[in-house]
Amino acid sequence: MYDKLDGRFRMRHSLRILLSLGLAACTRVQLSPAPAAAGVNAQELEQRLTAFAHDSMMGRRAGTVWNVKATDYIAAQFQSLGVQPAGEGGGFFQIVGDFRPSDANSPTAPARNVVGIIPGRDPVLRGEYVAITAHNDHIGFTHHPVDHDSLRAFNAVVRPLGADSPPRPATSAEAGRVVRILDSLRKLHPPRLDSINNGADDDGTGTIALIEIARVLMRSGGRPKRSILLVSHTAEEEGLLGSGWYTDHSTVPIDSIVAEFDADMIGRGAATDVRAGGPTYLEVVGLRRLSKEFGDWVEAANARQPLPFVFNYEYDAPGHPDQYYCRADHYSYARYGIPSVSLSRGEHRDYHQVTDESQYIDYPDYARLTQMVLDAAVFVANADHRPRLDVPKPADPHVPCRQ
């Protein structure tokens, strides 16, 4: 998720959770009996995320050679899994033509989306696509190294939402708690200077989930009727530029995309990370805005999981000051009338901090959520019709987003 542009900070994190109890049960759902594709593997996720969020990626900022390196990694993974290239010129990449970094510096390398297709097995329906997306860029590195554990201890107490908590000094009571946390961390490892925003959760987790979903679908032989479109967007952190470009210049007909799932920051969400968190915590934005049927299908796929997630729709509320509806890549699809959803397990102390590292990811729950996204996408891809729109398609996809 990209930083808020309006400069306001969220002061309180509401504890309200809107439970979606019973919705799946009372919904008539038509779906083929194809079983959910099984097999998302936590070790596969961990191995790839450790590489993708490594210091050598230097924070993957769009418009730098490090983002090129990150997108090379994704394309190589798609290639090795047998995913069909669906970018420009027969390759996996699509260059964002009008890319300008948000800080007005000149880009030093192209900003690239990575696009692949897993063809559907139905000869007619394979011309329609269920998109699964994430963003490959992050916010780079700083020239002001800080002590890693000191920052984590401070943010645990003073900035529980990382960059989305207001910067301020600790009170004297808080300072005591910071010192106690730091003391316990010092017993585990020595001081370490850190200047690289690894973006393990943001959005290494979504990115590696795309690759893992590709691995499962390509290896299982259980490919759905419609095709799966995998889009790794660049320049999300610069203001949804990669997804905006992709949907304005889509490499498949834009109207053939029947639904979109965006996964951004899906690797944390425990009670120690997010105030309302826990193993079933999931923030869901946009799901029912264009198509209640799409919402019903995703909730039904979730309800079939061994431990279903509890969808928190709080941040989807029209006018919500946090603006999540307008701050994630799903919106680039929604503005074209494509039923789309943003899935996240919430902001935490490491959000847009140098401490967002792969060692803090909760891999078992990350694997459960990746499986749910895969099953929900397969569910939609096997449905006998595309999700019905309840509202007219937006007449102009380029009007400003309204939360």
Task: By CB under 5 A, name the binding residues for Zn ion.
Answer: 1, 202-203, 264
Minimum separation from the CB atom of position 239 to Zn ion (A) = 12
Minimum separation from the CB atom of position 96 to Zn ion (A) = 16
Minimum separation from the CB atom of position 162 to Zn ion (A) = 12
Q: Is 89 left (phi over 0), alpha (psi -120 to 50) or beta?
A: left
Task: For strands 112-118 and 93-95, give the pairing.
Answer: antiparallel
Q: Give dist(CA 183, CA 10) in Å, integer.
A: 29
Minimum separation from the CB atom of position 137 to Zn ion (A) = 9
Minimum separation from the CB atom of position 229 to Zn ion (A) = 19
**Which is closer to Zn ion, CB of 158 or CB of 200?**
200
**Which is closer to Zn ion, CB of 182 or CB of 235?**
235
How close are the terminal C-alpha atoms of the chain, in Å? 15
| Lookup: tokens for 239 | 């203001």
Inter-residue contact 128 to 258 (CB < 8 Å) = yes
Phi, psi of 271 (to 5 degrees): -60, -25
**Which is closer to Zn ion, CB of 204 or CB of 224?**
204
264-295 burial, b for 16+ CB within 10 Å, e for fewer?
Answer: bbbbbbbeebbebbeebbbbbbbbbbbbbbbb
| Lookup: tokens for 377 | 């996408």
Inter-residue contact 370 to 267 (CB < 8 Å) = no
Minimum separation from the CB atom of position 207 to Zn ion (A) = 10
**Which is closer to Zn ion, CB of 202 or CB of 283?**
202
Inter-residue contact 367 to 45 (CB < 8 Å) = yes
**Which is closer to Zn ion, CB of 202 or CB of 299?**
202
**Which is closer to Zn ion, CB of 1 or CB of 241?**
1
Minimum separation from the CB atom of position 237 to Zn ion (A) = 7
Rounded-to-10 torsion of CA 303, 307, 313, 316: -90
Task: For strands 141-147 and 281-285, give the pairing.
Answer: unpaired
Q: Give dist(CA 38, CA 220) in Å, integer.
A: 8
- What type of residue is 387? P
**Which is closer to Zn ion, CB of 286 or CB of 387?**
286
Minimum separation from the CB atom of position 206 to Zn ion (A) = 7
Q: Give dist(CA 78, CA 75) in Å, integer.
A: 5
Q: Give dist(CA 254, CA 221) in Å, integer.
A: 27
Minimum separation from the CB atom of position 135 to Zn ion (A) = 5
Minimum separation from the CB atom of position 352 to Zn ion (A) = 9
**Which is closer to Zn ion, CB of 130 or CB of 163?**
163
The percent helix, strand, coil of the chain (3-state, each to 5) is 35, 15, 50
**Which is closer to Zn ion, CB of 264 or CB of 356?**
264
**Which is closer to Zn ion, CB of 128 or CB of 203?**
203
